[in-house]
Amino acid sequence: MNKNMLRYFLSSILILATTFIYAQDNIEKTKGIRFGFDVSPLVVRLFEPERSGLGVSIDFEFKTDYFGVIEGGLLNYGLEQKNFNYQSSGYYGLFGLDYNLLKAEKSVDNNILFAGFRYGISSFQQNIDNIVINNYWGTYNAELGQQQITGSWFELLGGIKAEVFFAKNFFIGWTLRAKTLLSGTKNETMQPIYIPGYGKTDKKFRFGISWFVAYKIPFKQK
Amino acid sequence: MIKRTLKLFALFLILTYSLNSCQADNECETSAISHAKLDFYIIEDDKEKAVGVEGISIYGLGREDSLIYEIDTISYALLQLSPAADTVGFVFDYGSFSDTISFLYKTNKHFESIECGFIANFDIDTVKYSENAIDSVALIDKTITSEDEQEHVKIFFK
**Type of residue found at B37:** K
Residue B149 resides in a domain: yes
Structural domains of chain B, count: 1
**What is residue A23's DSSP assignment?**
B
Whether A115 has its CB under 8 Å from any CB of chain B: the answer is no
Give the pLDDT confidence score for residue A24 in this predicted structure: 47
Give the pLDDT confidence score for residue B2 in this predicted structure: 52
Round to whole Å and give the CA distance between B48 and B26: 46
Determine, for residues B111 and A189 on separate chains, whether the beta-carbon distance falls below 8 Å: yes
Whether A133 has its CB under 8 Å from any CB of chain B: the answer is yes
A91-117 burial, b at 16+ Cβ within 10 Å, e below that, comes to ebebebebebeeeeebeebbbbbbebb
Identify the band that residue A16 occupies on the pLDDT scale cut at 50, 70 and 90. Answer: low
- Taking the CA of residue B43 and the nearest CA in chain A, the distance in Å comes to 32
Determine, for residues A135 and B114 on separate chains, whether the beta-carbon distance falls below 8 Å: no
Contact at 8 Å (CB) between B82 and B88? yes
Who contacts A119 (Cβ-Cβ below 8 Å, separation ≥6)? A94, A95, A96, A152, A153, A154, A155
- CB-CB: which of B12, B22, B85 is closest to A211? B12
Contact at 8 Å (CB) between B103 and B81? yes
- pLDDT tens digits, residue range B43-79? 988 899 999 999 999 999 999 899 999 998 999 999 9
Give the pLDDT confidence score for residue B10 in this predicted structure: 61
Summarize the confidence of residues A4-30 as an average pLDDT.
Answer: 54
> Judging by DSSP bridges, how do beta strands B153-157 and B36-44 pair with one another?
parallel
Give the pLDDT confidence score for residue A210 in this predicted structure: 87
A164-179 burial, b at 16+ Cβ within 10 Å, e below that, comes to bbeeebebbbbbbbbb
Task: Determine which of A19-23, A89-93, B59-63, B110-114 has the lowest per-residue pLDDT on average.
Answer: A19-23
Give the pLDDT confidence score for residue A218 in this predicted structure: 84
- Taking the CA of residue B48 and the nearest CA in chain A, the distance in Å comes to 31
Give the pLDDT confidence score for residue B41 in this predicted structure: 95
Residue B143 resides in a domain: yes
- Taking the CA of residue B138 and the nearest CA in chain A, the distance in Å comes to 24
Round to whole Å and give the CA distance between A19 and A13: 10
Determine, for residues A40 and B16 on separate chains, whether the beta-carbon distance falls below 8 Å: yes
In which domain, by residue range, is B145 found?
Answer: 33-157
> Pick the residue with more confidence: A158 or A29?
A158
B10-33 burial, b at 16+ Cβ within 10 Å, e below that, comes to eebeebbeebbeeeeeeeeeeebe
Mutate which of A82, A127, A135 to disrupt the B interface (most B C-beta within 10 Å)?
A: A135
Provide the 3-class DSSP secondary structure of residue A190: coil
Determine, for residues A209 and B19 on separate chains, whether the beta-carbon distance falls below 8 Å: yes
- pLDDT tens digits, residue range B138-150? 999 999 988 777 8
Residue B130 resides in a domain: yes
pLDDT at A90 over 90: yes
- pLDDT tens digits, residue range A164-208? 877 788 999 989 999 999 987 666 667 888 999 998 888 878 888
Residue B73 resides in a domain: yes
Give the pLDDT confidence score for residue A1 in this predicted structure: 41
Closest-CA residue in chain A for B18? Answer: A7
Determine, for residues A133 and B23 on separate chains, whether the beta-carbon distance falls below 8 Å: no
Mutate which of A2, A24, A42, A47 to disrupt the B interface (most B C-beta within 10 Å)?
A: A47
For the A3-218 domain, the top CATH level (class) is mainly beta
Determine, for residues B23 and A48 on separate chains, whether the beta-carbon distance falls below 8 Å: yes
Mutate which of A140, A185, A206, A213 to disrupt the B interface (most B C-beta within 10 Å)?
A: A140
- Taking the CA of residue A61 and the nearest CA in chain B, the distance in Å comes to 27
> Pick the residue with more confidence: A181 or B6?
A181
Give percent helix, percent strand, percent coil of chain A, each to the nearest 5.
15, 60, 30
Residue B111 resides in a domain: yes
> Judging by DSSP bridges, how do beta strands A51-63 and A66-80 pair with one another?
antiparallel
pLDDT at A87 over 90: yes
pLDDT at B133 over 50: yes
- Taking the CA of residue B156 and the nearest CA in chain A, the distance in Å comes to 25
Round to whole Å and give the CA distance between A122 and A119: 10
Average pLDDT over chain A, rounded to whole? Answer: 82
Contact at 8 Å (CB) between A40 and A52? no
Q: Which of A8, A71, A61, A3 is nearest to A31 (CA)?
A: A61
- pLDDT tens digits, residue range A53-79? 899 999 998 888 899 999 999 999 999
Mutate which of B118, B145, B146 to disrupt the A interface (most A C-beta within 10 Å)?
A: B118
Closest-CA residue in chain A for B87? Answer: A137
**What is residue B19's DSSP assignment?**
H
Give the pLDDT confidence score for residue B22 in this predicted structure: 47
Burial grade of B126 (CB within 10 A; 0-12, 13-18, 19 or more)? exposed
Give the pLDDT confidence score for residue A202 in this predicted structure: 82
Summarize the confidence of residues B77-94 as an average pLDDT.
Answer: 93
Residue B12 resides in a domain: no
Residue B124 resides in a domain: yes
Give the pLDDT confidence score for residue B24 in this predicted structure: 47
> Pick the residue with more confidence: A98 or A2?
A98
Domain spans, chain A: 3-218
- Taking the CA of residue A30 and the nearest CA in chain B, the distance in Å comes to 24
Percent of all residues in chain A with a pLDDT value above 90, rounded to a whole number: 41
